[in-house]
Structure 1
């Protein structure tokens, strides 16, 4: 369904976090799909809807920098939690294009950018999922001579960025082939020649080192197989890479996923996918000692330490969940993002720094120059929350209002439908 922004909206006397820094209360005017003006005592246009921002904070719509998105319901769920853009990190091209096209037409869905098929060696990760029936067969890259054609095919698929798998299987207990450095460099070069940014799947220090040395733009996970040495941290900063820590996903591989706390938060639970809630409740009932996602030699504490040290060295951090919502996978679209923000703060970021990781930083890293900030002329993707998330990051869960391209998102109707259905049981 298509929607329209309709009459202008004036948000009065609201504290603003513009994506990088806070501002004292002021007015913000939305006109159509864009922010028309930001400043004190703005005049209300004829017919404008006026929203009282007193005691509230306005910030850019959130951006999940690492998802796997396969249907529009996932984008609808994400939007209900304040996420106005998702960056997909790999999926079936035809499905990804269809979902992205739906998001372009509909303002009841989060916007989407897609990677389509990621680059990997023959038999490399995630080829093991093909044998399990979780993925369809996909093209691979045998050597540097294949790189240009592979990237050209991804552009033809409609890719907005390129995913590169740098995974030898040591982190997941399944040794597998790894592309050579020459091949990875050729992929990065071919992507950059076509205007695509590159993000590398890296769970280990060795794979992170290889990615950085080969010139990738960013790491889709923080290294989690042990403590990073100072040289790796310094080189990440010197090469200008970004890092998506995906701490929520990594804690999901343990006996105490971050999601356990999320499902008990009344600000979040009513909007979550009932199937996901049932899965998390089942996992919690299983209790300690259950293997969640296979034999994984990765620890979220190492990833959190690496992410914080890299950030302190000047590396941009981007908030991302690796959200899928599949069976046995604890992170999902929307609700898990709020766990990621809390984990970033627990790792040592200030709430303001975590909110930059959720807004301006991913917009900058992926060249989305029309969003990620509260400024005149940018998209009216905006989140209004009760209280001050700069002192309490969980305040971002208390959503008072939400706009996608200037269109108000109807969370009330969704909540009424959920309440009519009764409680979700596992």
Structure 2
């Protein structure tokens, strides 16, 4: 289903957020799958499609730095909301390979990079989901001597990065076995020897401390079980780690949830997953003070830790933990706009949140061909009405969208489509 652009496209007079800064009144020329020029007063090649970008902002395609992707409908859904790349954080190896193959072939889907099977102790998280019949059995790591073989098997599965679980059960109210620090260190070493970046599932302060001390590249969640002390914040900054706060997943459902605000926004609602909308509507109205979300964690602690780390130089990456089940309130596409709003509410400027959505995840995961707007990079682009560096919700008003230079068709809302 991959289409091929038949002529260049010139976008004139758009403000350009290039991944780190806003440039006023630029022209951007797309030819084939790449950006070929950025500047002022560019000449339109013969046969080019010329679009007026006045009053609009052109940005790199968005990158969701934490998802769990199980079918192509989710990748299609993500793309409709401006996400051109998803970074999957673990699941079935067979599913991961299928999703990557589909994204490689089709430009009507978001691209995806995959972790395949995450590393955990025997009986450790998420083995409890196997017991519930929610996922298939998977290999685990019994100790440091098994680390090299485990990582080699993930590379053979096609993993782009390695997910490591450091979860003692605090978040689900059930004690769970943990891998030793020696095992975690051995996994990270084995991954790095094979060119893989490593990301740790860490919801608690102790887990984050362990991951940082072991040399992890990134935290898949910000610590949320209490106020993080300054030693942890400084250790994260000194280590060079990046953090994906996943505030939407940690927030769960509250009396004034971000999910309701997203569902009620007419710029978003028509493209939302209909099952997600139905599940959300079934929870209205909530009783005052009711909160359904992870046990033992609070998103306010995660937001505070993430912003304090950011102020000491830790890159923040926007990610939702969007999934296809397991009781999560987050989903592909629409929840990402909630994540950006929560990052701004936590203390980031809209421009900083946009960097967390574009250049920062591309750099953190070595995706050198995307995440910024510059000649020679992929034409994964998003054109929106207004200025999202002043109002992050302007990102919801999409007027143009390209993946590898192919315009995305947003004329048919997701609710009219069937799952694949």
TM-score of the aligned structures, taking structure 2 as reference length:
0.97
Task: For residues 320-353 of structure 1, give each alpha carbon's deviation from its aligned partner in whole angstroms, at most 9, with x where no partner exists.
Answer: 0000142632100000000000000000000000
1:365 aligned onto 2:358: no
CA contact (8 A) 1:361 1:372 kept: yes
Matches within 5 A, 1:201-280: 201-252=201-252, 254=254, 256-280=256-280
| Closer/same/farther in 2, CA of residues 342 and 416 from structure 1, 3 Å limit | closer
Distance 1:416 1:10 in 2: 31
Residue 22 and residue 261 in structure 1: after superposition, are their counterparts in 2 closer, same or farther (change >3 A)? Answer: same
Q: Is the 8 A contact 1:260 1:284 kept in 2?
A: no
Q: Report the 3-state secondary structure (helix = DSSP H, G, I; strand = E; otherwise coil) of the residue aligned with 1:57.
A: strand
The answer as to whether partners of 1:279 and 1:328 remain within 8 angstroms in 2 is: no
Deviations 1:97-127 (A, max 9, x none): 0011000010000000000000000000000
> Is the Cα–Cα contact under 8 Å of residues 257 and 330 in structure 1 kept in the other structure?
no
Pairing of 1:195-206 with structure 2 (within 5 A): 195-206=195-206
Distance in 2, matches of 1:44 and 1:254, equals 51
CA distance in 2, matches of 1:73, 1:67: 14
In angstroms, what is the RMSD of aligned CA positions?
1.5
Cα 1:357–1:248 change in 2 (3 A) is same
Give the distance between the partners of 2:342 and 2:117, measured in 1 at CA: 29
Q: For 1:133 and 1:263, locate their aligned partners in 2 and report how far apart those are by CA, in whole Å.
A: 30
CA distance in 2, matches of 1:175, 1:390: 43
Paired with 1:28 and 1:310, the residues of 2 have a C-alpha distance of 35
Tell me, in whole angstroms, the C-alpha distance in 2 between the residues paired with 1:337 and 1:394: 11
Cα separation, partners in 2 of 1:289 and 1:138, compared to 1, 3 Å: farther
**Secondary structure of 2:84's partner?**
strand
Q: CA deviation at 1:286?
A: 5.1
Q: Does 1:322 align with 2:294?
A: no
Q: Retained in 2: the 8 A contact 1:360–1:373?
A: yes
Deviations 1:342-393, CA, capped at 9 Å, x for gaps:
0000000000000000000000000000000000000000000000001100
**Where does 1:9-408 land on structure 2 (aligned, <5 Å)?**
9-252=9-252, 254=254, 256-285=256-285, 287-288=287-288, 292-293=292-293, 296-326=295-325, 328-408=327-407
Which 5+ residue runs of structure 2 have no aligned equivalent?
Answer: none
- In the aligned structure 1, how far is the partner of 2:380 from the partner of 2:201? 29
**Structure 1 unaligned spans of 5+:** 422-426
Question: Cα deviation per residue 1:68-125 (whole Å; 9 max; x = unaligned)?
Answer: 0000000000000000000000010001100110000100000000000000000000
Alpha-carbon distance between aligned partners in 2 of 1:341 and 1:85, rounded to the nearest angstrom: 16
CA positional deviation for 1:308: 0.4
Cα distance 1:142–1:416, how it changes in 2: closer, same or farther (>3 A)? closer
Rounded to whole Å, the distance in 1 between the matches of 2:143 and 2:253 is 32
**1:324 touches 1:332 (CA, 8 Å); kept in 2?**
yes
Contact 1:6/1:407, CA 8 A, preserved across alignment: no
**Residue 255 of structure 1, CA deviation:** 5.1
Deviation at 1:171, TM superposition (A): 2.5
CA deviations 1:45-80 (Å, max 9, x no partner) are: 111000000000000000000000000000000000
